[in-house]
């Protein structure tokens, strides 16, 4: 898998949001949303990115697609550097990289028919005639499990699952190679969730899609992803194949996260690793290992020395002094 050129290669990506204060609105501090994330995504794979709210997983996904101006680092898509490109130049790449959001209703105009909303994609990115565009939209609707005559309906006439199908139709309209799914199934009921995931997997097989699947739901990620990256407070904590992460989690944070998931087995009295307290604020970033404030294994040096990102077995990386 590693022989060929990766579809996406990110190196040392940083994204800081400045905090401005005082009369002169000088930057007095930074919220470190993403801190030194480097990874490769290969053609046809599904990379899961998990972590709690505020861990920078969404900002990372948005940065990769050029929706956020990054602070530092490089992003290569098929070997081309795409960081810092102008909007016009980036437009070419955007056809190839799409995003599915958590709440598709928020990204649909309530007064625009679904057909028209989907057609807009082709108006902007293609030179198809009106008749061809409409034909293509009808095909897309069928492709994602809706009906052709849904073309003339408005967003409020659809259920949550159907709306997410519309979001997916819009994302696949231009035959992209990379789709970033940002909490794409989190707002759905479990039975609908499973259908949408099946649709995503079908489409991946049919079009050799590559997914970056951002989610806080470790259960869904497990069944969906080939490799999983665990993030904490903007940094990479552990990366490995789905099997490595779920069967042999090494980092204390990954272990705590996995043990905190409620299992549908009553009476299973919790052999749980409890994490005390809350996530520290990203504007007041801990020194050393970002996890040391809550870590059950933390030692003196964890408070001062940033742990190295190291490979513990093939394809399995962690950042921890103590494991």
Partner 1 sequence: MGHLLLVENLVTQYRTAGGKLPAVQGISFSVNKGETLCIVGESGCGKSATSLSIMGLLPANGEITGSIRLKGDEIVGKSEEQLQKIRGNEMSMIFQEPMTALNPVFSIGFQLREPLMIHRKLSKKEATQNSIDLLDKVGIPNPEEKLKQYPHELSGGMRQRVMIAMALACDPSLLIADEPTTALDVTIQAQIIELIDDLKEQMGMGVVFVTHDMGVVAEIADRVMVMYGGEVVEMGDVYSVFNSPQHSYTKKLLAAVPNVDDESKFWLQEATTDDGSTTSS
Footprint of partner 1 (CB under 8 A): 52-53, 159-162, 189-195, 197-198, 201, 216-220, 222-223, 246, 256-258, 260-268, 270, 272, 274-275, 277-279
Minimum Å distance from CB 245 to partner 1? 10
Query: Hey, which residues does 302 pair with through a beta bridge?
Result: none
Contact 41, 7 (CB under 8 A): yes
3-state helix, strand, coil in the chain (%, to 5): 35, 25, 40
CB-nearer residue toward partner 1: 134 or 285? 285
Among the listed residues 94, 68, 4, the one whose alpha carbon sits nearest the alpha carbon of residue 40? 4
CB-nearer residue toward partner 1: 180 or 245? 245
Distance CA 40, CA 15 (A): 18
Minimum Å distance from CB 160 to partner 1? 8
CB-nearer residue toward partner 1: 23 or 190? 190
Q: Where are the beta strands (DSSP E) in 52-117?
A: 72-77, 80-81, 97-100
Minimum Å distance from CB 258 to partner 1? 7
CB-nearer residue toward partner 1: 42 or 165? 165
Phi then psi dihedrals of residue 123, to 5 deg: -60, -45
Minimum Å distance from CB 167 to partner 1? 15
Minimum Å distance from CB 288 to partner 1? 20
Collapse the DSSP code of 37 into the 3-class scheme (helix H, G, I; strand E, B; otherwise coil) and give the result: strand
CB-nearer residue toward partner 1: 22 or 266? 266
Minimum Å distance from CB 300 to partner 1? 23
Q: Which residue do the tokens 């972590």 mark?
A: 51
Contacts for 117 with CB less than 8 Å, ≥ 6 apart: 108, 109, 155, 166, 170
CB-nearer residue toward partner 1: 34 or 275? 275
């Amino acid at each position: 898998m590693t022989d060929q050129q990766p579809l996406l290669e990110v190196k040392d990506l940083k994204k800081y949001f400045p905090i401005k204060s005082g009369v002169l609105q000088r930057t007095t501090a930074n919220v470190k949303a993403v801190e030194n994330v480097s990874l490769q995504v290969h053609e046809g794979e599904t990379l899961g990115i998990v972590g709690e709210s505020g861990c920078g997983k969404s900002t990372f996904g948005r940065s990769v697609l050029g929706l956020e101006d990054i602070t530092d680092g490089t992003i290569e898509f098929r070997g081309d550097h795409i960081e810092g490109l102008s909007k016009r130049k980036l437009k070419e790449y955007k056809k190839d990289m799409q995003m599915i959001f958590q709440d598709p209703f928020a990204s649909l105009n309530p007064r625009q028919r679904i057909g028209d909303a989907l057609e807009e994609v082709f108006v902007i990115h293609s030179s198809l005639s009106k008749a061809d565009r409409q034909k293509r939209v009808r095909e897309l609707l069928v492709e994602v499990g809706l009906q052709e005559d849904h073309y003339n309906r408005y967003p409020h006439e659809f259920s949550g699952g159907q709306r997410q199908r519309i979001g997916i139709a819009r994302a696949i309209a231009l035959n992209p190679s990379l789709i970033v799914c940002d909490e794409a199934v989190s707002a759905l009921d479990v039975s609908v969730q499973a259908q949408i995931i099946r649709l995503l997997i079908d489409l991946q097989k049919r079009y050799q899609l590559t997914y970056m699947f951002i989610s806080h739901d470790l259960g869904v990620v497990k069944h969906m992803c080939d490799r999983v990256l665990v993030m904490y407070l903007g940094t990479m904590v552990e990366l490995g194949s789905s099997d490595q992460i779920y069967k042999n989690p090494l980092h204390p944070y990954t272990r705590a996260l996995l043990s905190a998931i409620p299992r549908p087995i009553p009476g299973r009295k919790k052999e749980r690793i409890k994490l005390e307290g809350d996530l520290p604020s990203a504007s007041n970033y801990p020194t050393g290992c970002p996890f040391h404030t809550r870590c059950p294994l933390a030692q003196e040096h964890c408070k001062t020395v940033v742990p190295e990102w190291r490979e513990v077995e093939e394809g399995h990386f962690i950042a921890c002094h103590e494991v």
